[in-house]
Amino acid sequence: MFFSSQQPARASLAVVNLVLLIVLLFSFGINQIILGKIYKNLGLSNNPISKIAGALGSGGGSGVALSGDISQDAIKLAMAQGTPEIYGAELAVSFDQVEPAMNVIKQFDPTYGSQKIVLADQDLQRYINIGLKIACEYCCGATSLIREDGQAACGCAHSQAMRGLLAYLIKNHNSEYTDDEMLRELARWKGLYFPKQMIQKITSQLQGANFTPDVASLLLGMKLPDYGKGSQSAPLPSDIKGLPNMVGGC
């Protein structure tokens, strides 16, 4: 009789414990989200909990909220986070895992890739037009990803990865991206491949230097804050004539 009288009490205690556990987990989740946003605002993009904050509106999407603080805005533009839209899930690549992603997308490089994507006619011409507007200049000093005949201008892994992604998007998502939007995807990865150099480059151009196509692509659809004397609105990458100014070497 004594044993049976304990059953309701034990059941009630189990319910109370479950409720407390749920409350604890909920509180922990909210705390992690808040911490993630704090880390991201401080520019600590490699902190793993920033991925939680990314679910609230940042990450692989095209929108970056510019604050008017030129240093922080340059970091935000150069350091993409989360999973790229459309192709990210298909290829299981993430801006938060740069080297593994590079190893995936470089396979599609039409010149050096182990799973070469072959382009022809209009697709090849589009590949050339976009590939001439961006380079891995900080690695090998090349002035573009490709030559005017469509052949690779550089054999480094960064260049292979950007060409591979470009070929993949043209082959599989031709109508889902404009040329400028494809260039933007390459520029996002370029920012992660060369963070220091790209942050400096973006900062310089936000302060009034002439925009290059790669930086202009990162600003697609954005209204620039007033960064002070010399700041200007970014043109569309496709409106910029000639190749970007290149610096650096091997």
pLDDT tens track for 74-131: 999 999 999 999 999 999 999 999 999 999 999 999 999 999 999 999 999 999 999 9
Q: Are residues 193 and 131 in the same domain?
A: yes
Q: Are residues 44 and 161 in the same domain?
A: no
Q: Are residues 188 and 215 in the same domain?
A: yes
Q: Are residues 48 and 94 in the same domain?
A: no
Q: How far apart are CA 88 and CA 109, in angstroms?
A: 17
Q: Are residues 6 and 39 in the same domain?
A: yes
* 61 found inside a domain: no
pLDDT digits 0-9 by tens, 138-178:
988 889 999 999 999 999 999 999 999 999 999 999 999 99
* 128 found inside a domain: yes
Q: Are residues 76 and 115 in the same domain?
A: yes
The tally of domains found in the chain comes to 2
Q: Is 152 helix (H, G, I), strand (E, B) or coil?
A: strand
Q: Are residues 84 and 30 in the same domain?
A: no
Q: Which two tokens stand for residue 114?
A: 């182990």
* 190 found inside a domain: yes
Q: pLDDT over 90 for what percent of the chain? A: 58
Q: Are residues 98 and 221 in the same domain?
A: yes
Q: Are residues 157 and 208 in the same domain?
A: yes
Q: Are residues 159 and 98 in the same domain?
A: yes
Q: Are residues 43 and 85 in the same domain?
A: no
Q: How far apart are CA 122 and CA 41, in angstroms?
A: 43
* 63 found inside a domain: no
Instruction: Decide: 95 and 46 in contact? Cβ < 8 Å.
Output: no
* 249 found inside a domain: no
- Average pLDDT of span 28-54: 41
Residue 233: domain span: 70-239
* 64 found inside a domain: no
Q: How far apart are CA 3 and CA 7, in angstroms?
A: 7
Instruction: Decide: 117 and 108 in contact? Cβ < 8 Å.
Output: yes
* 25 found inside a domain: yes
Q: Are residues 80 and 138 in the same domain?
A: yes
